[in-house]
Structure 1
C-alpha cells in the first residue's frame, strides 16, 4: 500500500526465460551509447528479483559479462524480500556472482508488517539474515522504515536494536512517506506527528552512531569502507545504464556535450516485446544547463561529508560559477559550509535539506 515502484501481479507465473532474454537484448541495444566503458557496479532491484531462480540470475550475469567488461572487485547487489529466502537458492545466487544483498525488512513488528502489507513475518526476517550468512554473503544491507502507522518511539527503537543485532554491513533507515498513486496516499493511515518523528530520527541516529556505523548519506549508514558503491554513484551524479521494465538511466555524451535521462516501458509484456524489437526506451530528456545545477545538488547534497567543487564541473561540464547564486544564499543563511575544498550541509542545513536544494532552482 505504500510502494510506488513499478510492481506487477503475475498470477500465471514469472516468464523468467523470456524476461532474461529481453534484459540482455535491451543491454545489447544500449551498447552504442556506452562503448569503452566498464561496469563499476550492478544493482538488480525493483519488484522482487529474488523470486527468480539462481539459474536465471546466473544466465543474466553471464550475458552481461559477455557484453561489457567489469571493473575488478565489481559490486553486484540483489534486492531480496525475506519471504523468498531458501538456503540452496541463495547459495546459487552467491555462486552466480552476487556479492551483496539488500533485504527489504521494513519492520520486525508484526502489526506494523501487517499494516505495511508485507508478506513476510518477524521470524522470516530474522531467518533471512542467517540464510544470507550461511550462503556466503558477508556484505548485506537491511532496509528499515520509521514513522510507521501508530508507531511509538519505543517500537521504532526496538526495530533498530533488532536490526543492529543482526550485524548488517549496511543499513538503509528512512521515514515512511505517502507517495502519489499508492493506497496509503488515497487512504492515509494514522501516522505519528512531526515532533514524534523528529524524536525517533534523533534518537535513532544517535543509536546507530553508537553502534559503530557512520551516516554517509541522508538515509544510509555503513560500517567503515562498506558504503554502497552503486548508490554513491547516483549521489555523485554519475552515469548508469538502465535495463528492465520501468528502469531509468542517465548517460553523458561528452562529444555532443549532452546529458540524457531516459526510461523504459513500464508494463513487462510491452517491455519484453520492445526490447526484442530493438529499443525498449519509452522516452528521454536532454538536461539543460538550468536543469543541471538543481539536479546535481539534489543528489550531491545528500552526501554527509559533502563534495568537491571540481566534481560539479567534471559531471556537468559547467563552470563552478553556475552554482554561485544559490551557494552564496545558502552560506549566508548558515545552511551550507564552503571551505574552498568541500561543499557540505551544516547541521542546520542537514535538517532542512529540501530548503537548501530549492535555492538552486532556476526560473
Structure 2
C-alpha cells in the first residue's frame, strides 16, 4: 500500500457470511466445512438455539474487534447463510438469528438476505417461515436433475424434489432465488449436461449458478476418483450451455454465474469487487478493512463442538494481508467478474496504484497475451481471458 494512502473503509460495502455446518450426509465431492448428522440423530436433534447464541456472541466479538466506532455507519448490504445445509434449521431459529444480528448491527434498507437450501429438506411451510424471518433470497443446491447422477453425487434429493423446490420458491414472495447446477459430472455427455441445463432454465429461476465439478483434496472423490468427461467434451458443454443461457435471456456476469436483468447476487458481487465481509460460524472466513487502513483476513474454528466449547479468545485466527499480496488478492477476485473493472477501484480498495511497477508489469503481460482489454478508465477480461482465467490469475502470482 502506498505510504501516503489511508484507506477509507466507510466507502467499502460491508456484508456478513454466516456458516451453519450440518448436513444430512457429506457429499463425495464436497470440500466445504460440513458435518453430516450422526447416525441415530435427526434434524430435530441439532443444537439450533445453542448454535444461534454462539453465532451472535461471535458477531459481537467481531464488531468490537473490527468495527469499533463505525458499526452504525457501515450497514450490512447483504447476508449469506451457507453451509452445510442451513435449511435444516427451523424458521424460528432463523428468525432468532436474523433478529439478533439486526439488534447488533444496522441493515441497509434494501438488504439482500440469502439462505442456502437443499431440495431434500424443502417444504412450502418451511420456505414461508424463512421469508417471515427476513430471508428474501434462496439458493437451491440442485446440482443435477438426473436421478442417477444425483445418486453418484451423494445427494439426498431426486429430480421431482428439485423441481418442487423451485416451484415453492416462486410462490412464497422471495425477491429472488438461485439454482445451483454442476456440469462435467462422472460419465456425463454433452447431451446429458445440456438436458440438465434446459430443465433448470424451464424452471425460470432469476439466477443460475452453473459450474464445472472439480475434484478437491480431502474428499471421497479425491481418494476414489470417478471418470470425468475429457477436456474436449467439457469445452463443448461450456460453449453450447453458454449459448443456451444467452438465448434464454440470462446474462453471464461472473465466470460461473448467470442472471436475469437486475438479479445478480449482491453478496457474491461484494466478494468479487474486494468488498468487506464479516464471517461468523464454524470455519467462517472474513475480510475487513480496518480504521487504520490495514486489510485483515480472519478464520473461525472449524469443528462445531470446538466452536461452541472454545472461549472467545481462542475462537479465531487472523492475519494482515501483506502489500506484496494485495495486487494478486484484488485481481484474483475482480477478474472473475466480466464487468469492466474501474482503475480507481484498485486504489480505493487496496491503496495500490496501477503505476506500481509490480502491478503495471503484470497488467501489461495480460494485455500482451490478449487476456484483458484496457481503456483510459477501466480494465476488462477479454473473451480469451474468460476461457483462460487461470492463466490470467497466475500472472499476478509470479
TM-score higher than 0.5: yes
Shift of 1:336: 1.0
* Uncovered stretches (5+) of structure 1, i.e. residues with no partner: none
Instruction: State whether structure 2 residue 34 is matched by structure 1 residue 7.
Output: yes
Separation (CA, whole Å) in 1 of partners of 2:369 and 2:376: 17
Separation (CA, whole Å) in 2 of partners of 1:175 and 1:280: 37
Tell me the residue number matched to 2:96: 59
Tell me the residue number matched to 2:252: 215
Tell me the residue number matched to 1:27: 59
Shift of 1:87: 1.3
Separation (CA, whole Å) in 2 of partners of 1:73 and 1:282: 30
Separation (CA, whole Å) in 2 of partners of 1:281 and 1:210: 48
Shift of 1:280: 5.8
CA contact (8 A) 1:41 1:76 kept: yes
Tell me the residue number matched to 1:40: 77
Tell me the residue number matched to 1:160: 197
Shift of 1:9: 2.3
What TM-score does the superposition give when structure 2 sets the normalisation length? 0.88
Tell me the residue number matched to 2:233: 196
CA deviation string 1:147-175 (max 9, x = no partner): 00000111111101100011100000000
Match for 1:186 among 223, 235, 238?
Answer: 223
Shift of 1:237: 0.5
Tell me the residue number matched to 2:312: 278
CA contact (8 A) 1:102 1:143 kept: yes
CA contact (8 A) 1:26 1:279 kept: no
Instruction: State whether structure 2 residue 374 is matched by structure 1 residue 338.
Output: yes
Shift of 1:205: 0.3
Shift of 1:133: 2.1
Shift of 1:270: 0.9
CA contact (8 A) 1:242 1:248 kept: yes
Map 1:98-109 → 2, pairs under 5 A = 98-109=135-146
Separation (CA, whole Å) in 1 of partners of 2:175 and 2:103: 27
Shift of 1:341: 1.6
Tell me the residue number matched to 1:87: 124
What TM-score does the superposition give when structure 1 sets the normalisation length? 0.97
Separation (CA, whole Å) in 2 of partners of 1:281 and 1:215: 38
| SS of the residue 2:341 aligns to | coil
Separation (CA, whole Å) in 1 of partners of 2:59 and 2:314: 10
| SS of the residue 1:29 aligns to | helix
Instruction: State whether structure 2 residue 305 is matched by structure 1 residue 269.
Output: yes
Separation (CA, whole Å) in 1 of partners of 2:96 and 2:212: 36
Map 1:311-350 → 2, pairs under 5 A = 311-322=345-356, 323-350=359-386
CA contact (8 A) 1:82 1:120 kept: yes
Separation (CA, whole Å) in 1 of partners of 2:305 and 2:185: 34
Tell me the residue number matched to 1:296: 330
Shift of 1:279: 4.0
Tell me the residue number matched to 2:387: 351
Tell me the residue number matched to 1:260: 296
Most deviating of 321-330 and 74-83: 321-330
Tell me the residue number matched to 1:114: 151
Separation (CA, whole Å) in 1 of partners of 2:159 and 2:208: 18
Separation (CA, whole Å) in 1 of partners of 2:171 and 2:266: 24
CA contact (8 A) 1:80 1:102 kept: yes
CA deviation string 1:261-295 (max 9, x = no partner): 11000000111123xx3346431221111110001
CA contact (8 A) 1:262 1:281 kept: no
Count of aligned positions: 359
Separation (CA, whole Å) in 2 of partners of 1:357 and 1:124: 38
